[in-house]
């Protein structure tokens, strides 16, 4: 991905917030209100930095999935903003994205992948377990609701 992909990333972010608004810690209205320059800067940082990278998956020339990895320190990479468009779920894109982040992370010397999943998103928790993630037992506050939590999961190696 390059800094020129900001429009693709922005449209996918809007889609994901409209599709499953409680899973990403940001309100759709806030994302829409953010200046385009901020999106472009975010994409540039992910495309050009060593500490963060955004991965996308395309099907028939259309971006249909995304995930971002960020250096969390201590040999860990935090994975966030994972989204796969509804028609493409269950087809292996999640594993492909996690494996790509895992390779990027390992090349930087980080051996553990961590992420959080909204406590009510059981389908995602199952999908992550299928590709080697396990729950750590840690629960974190949810950014949009005090009635929800984020379940921490990790995958080593």
Residue 16 has pLDDT above 80, yes or no: no
Indicate whether this model's pTM tops 0.75: yes
99-155 confidence digits (pLDDT tens): 999 999 999 999 999 999 999 999 999 999 999 999 999 999 888 888 889 999 999
| Cα separations in angstroms, 2 against 8, 121, 150 | 11, 31, 30
**CATH class (in words) of the domain with range 3-156:** alpha beta
Q: What is the C-alpha to C-alpha distance for residues 62 and 107, in angstroms, rounded to an integer?
A: 28
Average confidence (pLDDT) over 70-86? 94
What pLDDT, on the 0 to 100 scale, is given for residue 157?
A: 66
Average confidence (pLDDT) over 26-34? 78
When pLDDT is cut at 50, 70 and 90, the band that residue 6 belongs to is: low
- Rounded (10°) CA dihedral 47, 80, 153, 130: -80
């Amino acid at each position: 991905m390059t800094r020129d992909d900001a429009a693709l990333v922005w449209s996918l972010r809007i889609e994901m917030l409209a599709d499953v608004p409680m899973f990403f810690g940001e309100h759709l209205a806030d994302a829409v209100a953010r200046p385009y320059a901020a999106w472009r800067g975010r994409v540039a940082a992910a495309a050009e930095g060593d500490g963060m990278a955004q991965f996308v998956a395309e099907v028939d020339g259309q971006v249909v999935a995304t995930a971002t990895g960020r250096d969390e320190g201590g040999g860990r990479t935090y994975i966030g903003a994972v989204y796969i468009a509804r028609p493409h779920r269950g087809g292996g894109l999640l594993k492909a994205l996690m494996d790509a982040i895992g390779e990027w992370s390992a090349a930087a010397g980080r051996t553990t992948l961590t992420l959080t999943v909204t406590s009510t998103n059981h389908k995602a928790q199952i999908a992550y377990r299928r590709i080697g993630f396990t729950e750590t037992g840690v629960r974190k506050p949810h950014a949009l609701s005090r009635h929800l939590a984020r379940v921490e999961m990790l995958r080593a190696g």
